[in-house]
């Protein structure tokens, strides 16, 4: 029997065991995100867009950047027109979202109840939603005082409050 190269063989064996143990440890301890799994990207994107809306909503009223309620309150009620006028007068909201959602495109729809009917307006259009787009939503409440302060086009009575659903559709580019 040829006894040559036994150490090399043992070394190979040791390396293989080491690699297997490492992969086992990693795979058993955390959630594995495989690149092939598109759902994992959706989860990530959904969390990012949800966080973006929450961050904008939580902005204090007196801070330099308008918060989500203030942004929506200033809307002039003219729907966006793609590709000529993608954001209407919602520049603040558009700038905030663009900063918080890098490498992603988004559309914003506003849904609210008017005369007992649901009305959905397209506020920001950045194009047709791509593959694996996710939708997140956030609610804001508008009152006459917020709207008149921001100079928006919502026609509200003094004793009226309007709940508006901000619907954010996000997709990766």
Do 86 and 127 touch, CB atoms closer than 8 A?
A: no
CB of 42 to another protein, least distance (A): 6
Query: d(Cα 160, Cα 137) in Å, to the nearest integer?
Result: 22
113 binds another protein (CB under 8 A): yes
Q: Which of 170, 159, 65, 165 is nearest to 126 (CA)?
A: 170
Q: Which is nearer to another protein, 77 or 135 (CB)?
A: 135
CB of 13 to another protein, least distance (A): 6
Do 160 and 112 touch, CB atoms closer than 8 A?
A: no
6 binds another protein (CB under 8 A): yes
Adjacency order of strands within the sheet including 117-124: 117-124, 104-114, 161-172, 134-143
Query: d(Cα 129, Cα 53) in Å, to the nearest integer?
Result: 18
121 binds another protein (CB under 8 A): no
Q: Which of residues 26-85 bind another protein (CB under 8 A)?
A: 27, 31-34, 36-37, 39-40, 42-43, 46, 50
Q: Which is nearer to another protein, 43 or 55 (CB)?
A: 43
Q: Which of 95, 82, 80 is nearest to 128 (CA)?
A: 82
Q: Which positions lie near another protein, rule CB under 8 A?
A: 1-2, 5-6, 9, 12-13, 16-17, 19-20, 23-24, 27, 31-34, 36-37, 39-40, 42-43, 46, 50, 111-113, 118, 136-139, 141, 143, 158-163, 165
């Amino acid at each position: 029997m040829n006894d040559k190269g036994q150490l090399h063989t043992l070394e190979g064996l040791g390396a293989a065991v080491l690699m297997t143990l490492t992969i086992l440890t990693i795979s058993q301890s955390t959630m594995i995100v495989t690149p092939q799994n598109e759902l994992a990207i959706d989860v990530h994107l959904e969390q990012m867009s949800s966080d973006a809306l929450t961050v904008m909503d939580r902005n204090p009223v007196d801070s330099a950047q308008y918060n989500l309620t203030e942004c929506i309150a200033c809307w002039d009620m003219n729907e966006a027109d793609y590709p000529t006028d993608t954001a209407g007068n919602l520049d603040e909201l558009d700038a905030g979202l663009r900063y918080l959602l890098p490498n992603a495109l988004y559309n914003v729809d506003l849904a609210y109840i008017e005369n007992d009917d649901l009305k959905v307006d397209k506020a920001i259009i950045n194009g047709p939603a791509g593959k694996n787009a996710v939708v997140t939503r956030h609610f804001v409440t508008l009152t006459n005082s917020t709207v008149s302060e921001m100079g928006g086009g919502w026609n509200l009575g003094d004793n009226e409050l309007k709940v508006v659903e901000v619907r954010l559709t996000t997709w990766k580019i």
